């Protein structure tokens, strides 16, 4: 017995020693236990993407079950790659905002198939990889003014917020004012799925309050609490209480909002077949899709750069000269992940700012990322849970994420009209035109015209001049 115990201890010591050598734990002043707990913390804070991404992307006609597995697999592979290659404590998953742009702008408004949209994602990912291995990345980051970069994040947030309000049923179409406030007492089924404006707003409020109080897993708790309330309503209220719109009668269940079908199931990878390696790359080689590819690229690059630099600062990954250790590798891992994710049917896979939660919990190395990736892999077993969650409960999280992204506007120089006006224009036009690409285009054109008009044309970089010309050409010849 003593010999067996000794062998077990030696085996465990060997594993710890291997992890120590590979991830350089001591050099980063951390331990295996701390890294694993940090990974768990980040996973819990960003795991909402497992439920939100399939709900959004399935509006394109892609199968929900396949998208759920694709989200988990794409996040798992990308995050493990980040951990093993770059040794950074960062989680990656399909990007919020980019998935909405994919669904509602490229496929919905522009009318392209989801296969061609995936082809555009693939091309933007390849360009990102090329930029990551050359000096083009630095040129891009240096040439685009900070005000427009901040505006892109905020604009995507406002875009997401509008979608969340629309999906929960809080905002409805209005023939006189385009949009209007819905009947908050309405409970039923509509074009976009189950509708319960009051419960959707409650989900957002719960998540916001719990997050403010720094409750672990605030997003998941808010979604779970709202789902439980909807489940209780299903049992307590009569079935005729739930109003079913004409366009929803073919699919809406008569039993209420939530049908319990279990929590766990063995993944059926055959569900991936309809979307696996289905990107139409040749179809994406179209002039009209250039702004789409540029949009995917811009949002991905600036979101990734901002996230990675923020995580590096919090994790003390900078040397005494201010150089960020492993930044180049982390950017390469992120860009390669976008290309890999396309194969599974994912929108651009990107680094998540929620990684800061794991860093705050002590995560300093790639072991944190590997832990996150393995947990996403385990997440594939929770498909029945994902199928059970009502859309409005998850959309409350969408509104919450939107509010977080909008906070980037606080970094603007509000004393310089030529800086904040283009940023505000970018932000509002993304939501009001229901297109991230149009918002970016209006922002660049406004920035250039205001700078020239104010006699500050020397502040306009060559990159901004070129992109302004591109966007003007878009409105003249491609609309």
3-state DSSP assignment of residue 4: helix
Cα–Cα dist 325/304, whole Å = 16
Reply yes or no on whether the pLDDT at 261 is more than 70: yes
In which band, very low, low, confident or very high, does the pLDDT at 324 lie, cut at 50, 70 and 90?
Answer: confident
Q: What is the pLDDT, as a whole number, of residue 77?
A: 97
User: Mean pLDDT over residues 79-98, rounded?
Assistant: 95
Reply yes or no on whether the pLDDT at 398 is more than 60: yes
**452 vs 175, residue with greater confidence:** 452
Reply yes or no on whether the pLDDT at 322 is more than 70: no
**469 vs 169, residue with greater confidence:** 469
Cα–Cα dist 393/391, whole Å = 5
In which band, very low, low, confident or very high, does the pLDDT at 8 lie, cut at 50, 70 and 90?
Answer: very low
Element containing residue 171 per DSSP (H, E): strand 171-174
User: Mean pLDDT over residues 422-434, rounded?
Assistant: 94
**352 vs 247, residue with greater confidence:** 352
- pLDDT (tens digit per residue) in 299-308: 999 888 888 8
Reply yes or no on whether the pLDDT at 13 is more than 60: no
Q: What is the pLDDT, as a whole number, of residue 186?
A: 84
CA distances from 316 to 96, 227, 301, 313, 370 (A): 27, 39, 22, 5, 19
Q: Which residues pair with 318 in a beta bridge?
A: 324
In which band, very low, low, confident or very high, does the pLDDT at 229 lie, cut at 50, 70 and 90?
Answer: very high
By percentage, how much of the chain surpasses pLDDT 90?
Answer: 61
Are 195 and 187 contacting, i.e. CB atoms less than 8 angstroms apart?
Answer: yes
Mean residue pLDDT across the chain: 89
User: Mean pLDDT over residues 56-74, rounded?
Assistant: 95
User: Mean pLDDT over residues 124-129, rounded?
Assistant: 95
User: Mean pLDDT over residues 229-247, rounded?
Assistant: 80
Cα–Cα dist 433/440, whole Å = 11
* CA-CA-CA-CA dihedral for 442, 448, 449, 451, to nearest 10: 130
Contacts of 176 (CB under 8 A, 6+ apart): none
Q: What is the pLDDT, as a whole number, of residue 4?
A: 47
Reply yes or no on whether the pLDDT at 3 is more than 60: no
Cα–Cα dist 284/70, whole Å = 21
Its sign, for the CA torsion 157, 214, 393, 58, is positive
From 204-208, 320-324, 376-380, 392-396, the region with the lowest mean pLDDT: 320-324
In which band, very low, low, confident or very high, does the pLDDT at 18 lie, cut at 50, 70 and 90?
Answer: confident
Cα–Cα dist 216/429, whole Å = 35
Reply yes or no on whether the pLDDT at 5 is more than 90: no
3-state DSSP assignment of residue 92: strand
Task: Please compute Rg for the chain using Cα positions.
Answer: 23
Reply yes or no on whether the pLDDT at 187 is more than 70: yes
Q: What is the pLDDT, as a whole number, of residue 33?
A: 93
Q: How far is CA 173 from the centre of its chain?
A: 26
Are 25 and 31 contacting, i.e. CB atoms less than 8 angstroms apart?
Answer: yes
Q: 90-127 burial, b for 16+ CB within 10 Å, e for fewer? A: bbbbbbbbbbbbbbbbbbeebebebbbbbbbbbbbbbb
**13 vs 220, residue with greater confidence:** 220
Q: What is the pLDDT, as a whole number, of residue 135?
A: 82
Reply yes or no on whether the pLDDT at 168 is more than 90: no
Reply yes or no on whether the pLDDT at 310 is more than 50: yes
User: Hey, which of 68-77, 234-243, 296-305 has the most confident mean pLDDT?
Assistant: 68-77
DSSP designation for 79: H
Q: What is the pLDDT, as a whole number, of residue 252?
A: 65
Q: What is the pLDDT, as a whole number, of residue 321?
A: 63
- Strands 243-244 and 188-190 turn out to be parallel
From 101-115, 124-138, 272-286, the region with the lowest mean pLDDT: 124-138
Element containing residue 462 per DSSP (H, E): helix 462-473
Query: Which among 354, 370, 168 is positioned nearest to 257, based on CA atoms?
Result: 168
């Amino acid at each position: 017995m003593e010999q067996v115990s000794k062998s077990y201890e030696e085996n465990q010591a060997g594993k710890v020693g291997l992890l120590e050598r590979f991830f350089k734990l001591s050099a980063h002043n951390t331990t295996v236990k701390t890294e694993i707990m940090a990974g768990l913390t980040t996973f819990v804070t960003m795991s909402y993407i497992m439920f939100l991404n399939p709900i959004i992307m399935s509006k394109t006609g892609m199968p929900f079950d396949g998208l759920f597995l694709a989200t988990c697999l794409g996040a798992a592979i990308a995050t493990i790659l980040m951990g093993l290659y770059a040794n950074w404590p960062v989680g990656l998953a399909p990007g919020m905002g980019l998935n909405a742009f994919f669904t509602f702008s490229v496929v919905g408004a522009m009318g392209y198939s989801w296969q061609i949209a995936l082809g555009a994602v693939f091309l933007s990912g390849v360009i990102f990889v090329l930029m990551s291995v050359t000096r083009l990345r630095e040129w891009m980051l240096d040439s685009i003014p900070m005000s427009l970069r901040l505006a892109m994040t905020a604009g995507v947030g406002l875009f997401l917020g509008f979608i969340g309000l629309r999906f929960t049923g809080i905002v409805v179409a209005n023939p006189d004012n385009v949009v209007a406030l819905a009947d908050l007492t309405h409970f039923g089924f509509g074009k976009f799925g189950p509708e319960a404006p009051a419960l959707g707003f409650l989900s957002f409020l719960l998540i916001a309050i719990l997050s403010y109080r720094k409750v672990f897993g605030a997003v998941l708790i808010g979604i779970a609490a709202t789902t439980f309330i909807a489940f209780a309503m299903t049992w307590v209220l009569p079935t005729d209480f739930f109003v079913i719109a004409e366009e929803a009668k073919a699919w809406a269940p008569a039993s209420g909002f939530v049908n319990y079908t279990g929590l766990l199931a063995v993944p059926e990878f055959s569900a991936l077949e309809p979307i696996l390696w289905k990107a139409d790359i040749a179809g994406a080689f179209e002039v009209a899709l250039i702004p789409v590819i540029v949009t995917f690229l811009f949002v991905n690059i600036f979101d990734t750069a901002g996230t990675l630099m923020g995580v590096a600062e919090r994790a003390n990954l900078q040397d005494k000269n201010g150089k960020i250790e492993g930044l180049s590798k982390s950017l390469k891992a992120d860009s390669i992940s976008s290309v890999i994710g396309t194969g599974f049917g994912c929108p651009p896979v990107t680094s998540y700012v929620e990684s800061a939660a794991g860093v705050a919990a002590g995560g300093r190395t790639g072991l944190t990322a590997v832990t996150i990736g393995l947990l996403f892999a385990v997440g594939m077993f929770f498909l029945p849970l994902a199928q059970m969650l009502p859309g409005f409960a998850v959309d409350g999280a969408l509104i919450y994420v939107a509010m977080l992204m909008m906070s980037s506007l606080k970094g603007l120089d509000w004393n310089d009209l030529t800086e904040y006006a283009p940023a505000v224009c970018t932000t509002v036009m993304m939501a009001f035109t229901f297109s991230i690409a149009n918002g970016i285009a209006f922002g660049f054109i406004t920035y250039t015209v205001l700078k020239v008009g104010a006699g500050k044309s020397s502040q306009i970089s060559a990159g901004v001049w070129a992109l302004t010309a591109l966007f003007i050409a878009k409105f003249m010849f491609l609309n």
